[in-house]
Amino acid sequence: MPGYDPPVREMRFVLDTVAGLPGIAALPGCESATPDTVTAILEAAAGLARDVLAPLDQPGDHEGARLENGVVRTPAGFSQAYRSFVEGGWNGLPFAEAHGGQGLPLVVATAVAEMWTAANMSFALCPLLTAGAVEALERHGSEALKAQYLEKLVSGAWTGTMDLTEPQAGSDVGAVKTRAVPDGAHWRISGQKIYITYGDHDLAENILHFVLARTPGSPAGTRGISLFLVPKFLPDAEGRPGRRNDVRCVSLEHKLGIHASPTAVLAFGDEGGAIGFLVGEEQRGMACMFTMMNNARLSVGLQGVAISERVYQQARDFARERVQGGAAIIRHPDVRRMLLLMRSRTEASRALAYFTASCLDIARRSPDAARRAQAQSRAELLVPMVKAWCTDIGVENASLAIQVHGGMGFIEETGVAQHYRDIRIAPIYEGTNGIQAMDLLGRKLARDEGAAARALIAEMRALDAALAARSEDGFAVIRAALAQGIDAVETASASLLAIHAADPGRAAAGAVPFLTLFATVTGGWLLAKAALAIDDPARRLSARFYAESVLPQATALLPAITSGSTVIDFAPELL
């Protein structure tokens, strides 16, 4: 498989001009994010991604994780790579220094995480879940739990999991049956969880499971669920892993992709009940778990960005070298079209992910309460777009990369097929992309009657004057296409709000096209901002191609949104 060259220069450009890193670095607690420090971090991360993680990607896919006599083994080289990851302090990049972290902005950690994922998506899933566990424990855990476990999670010495799904429940979290019974100072957990990423492995000395379960007398549905921390090994008096808790990996899933990432079926309580500790308030588990889920949704969206970059590099390099008809295939117009489509959508999705992370930094760190609230509202609007749209793009770009390779792309040895297999899970886990669209419609757009959407639309329209002032080739095209796209977002938002007020079920029929429309236009806006920030013909080419070839597709979605359920309002028996 061809290697991976982390696009550090591109990342730094997007951090500075789109995500506004200089302004983020001026926020309280972000003072260490100086230009020199950020550059050094990106370059060091690039070395680990390029030289350590990427070479393990294809061998890890071939070998896969395996369960042997009750012990989960990761592929050769993974444990040594994880040791280097922990020793480098990479896991603690965005977390508080008080808990052993480095206190750097989330947006910097987001750029670094893109490199881990592009280099080796299976490996990167482990720290992804641990980061969510840190967020949940830091925000909702008792002081005793924080003192016992937080520093270990921040360092990555111990890893975390998110245990929601059960065989009978799927995405319906309210249907979980795992039970938690009080037993003195702790609880006894019993039940089964499936699809648990890194639910067991040999990378770290302990695993902390964050488990949703029902307590006695709790009401049905999500209101009756609580969150518990269940260690694989119970800490001894010195805080080291002690005796084994009553939790076992009973099997590993056989998956389409991410073969090196162990996806476990876990049994809790086969020998009397696993010892667990309540996180947050009883029957408030979903609120606590959403802290992990929102973190994970941004990270999963970033997987789409990362794989898009990886497959673009591979397809571009192949097209430069593959000779057909006496010339490299990159000379063929349709191949150039596919490559430019991949590149422009990768740049747009990266800009959207980094921009969203910067909003979260402001929401967490700004001393101005009004600015914090505005940034939080903006981030909540954007997170479902990042998760759904960026992962859809990752799948589409991986498919295009196979197409550029032709028959060679369908052959496993070239490696591009692995990326397609790996990224195909991203639109499914952490809430399917349809669920993300419903979240955008019901919890984000309708909740504030479109206020956050209107604020973003107004900010996008404000770029028009800057575009009008530029006479260079392409800016007139970008301006016109972006204006049409913004008009479509405004029309779609108003239409869905009216339909939702009358009949939420009818509005749901337009939720997915609405998310795609809104995210596509927001990506085009960010590409235009980037093109305005620097006199770079290549960047202007991406923005213009996107305006000519991608933005019109977004506008074409408008009828599917405004029609409500007129197209799909029929009896299911007709299918």
- Local structure of residue 199 (DSSP, 8 states): S
User: In the block, which residue shows the tokens 């800490």?
Assistant: 235
Taking the C-alpha atoms of residue 3 and residue 12, their distance in angstroms, rounded to an integer, is: 21
* CA–CA dist 409, 182 (Å, integer): 55
Do the beta carbons of residue 212 and residue 190 sit within 8 Å? no
Tokens of 29: 């607690």
CB atoms near residue 318 (< 10 Å): 22
User: Which H or E element spans position 193?
Assistant: strand 186-197
> Does 430 participate in catalysis according to the annotation?
yes
Question: Catalytic pick from 430, 449, 490, 548?
Answer: 430
For residue 309, the SS3 value is helix
CB count in 10 Å sphere of residue 39: 12
Query: For 20, phi and psi rounded to 5 degrees?
Result: 70, 40
Distances (CA, A) of 11 to 158, 446, 528: 29, 34, 16
| 190 within 8 A of 166, measured Cβ to Cβ | no
Q: Among candidates 31, 111, 124, which has minimal Cα distance to 85?
A: 124
Contact 500, 507 (CB under 8 A): yes
How far is it, in rounded angstroms, from Cα 356 to Cα 381?
A: 9
Contacts of 1 (CB under 8 A, 6+ apart): 57, 58, 414, 415, 418
CB–CB of 129/159 below 8 Å? yes
CA 286 – CA 229 distance, rounded (Å): 14
Assigned token pair, 442: 């019901």
3-state secondary structure labels for all residues of 133-179:
HHHHHHHHCCHHHHHHHHHHHHHCCEEEEEECCCCCCCCCHHHCCCE
- Buried b / exposed e over 43-67, threshold 16 CB at 10 Å, is eebbebbbebbbbbbbebbebbbeb
Q: Which residues of 77-115 are buried (b: 16+ CB within 10 A; e: fewer)?
A: bbeebbeebbebebbbbbbeeebbbbbbbbbbbbbbbbb
CA atoms within 13 A on the CB side of 181: 8
Catalytic residues: 430
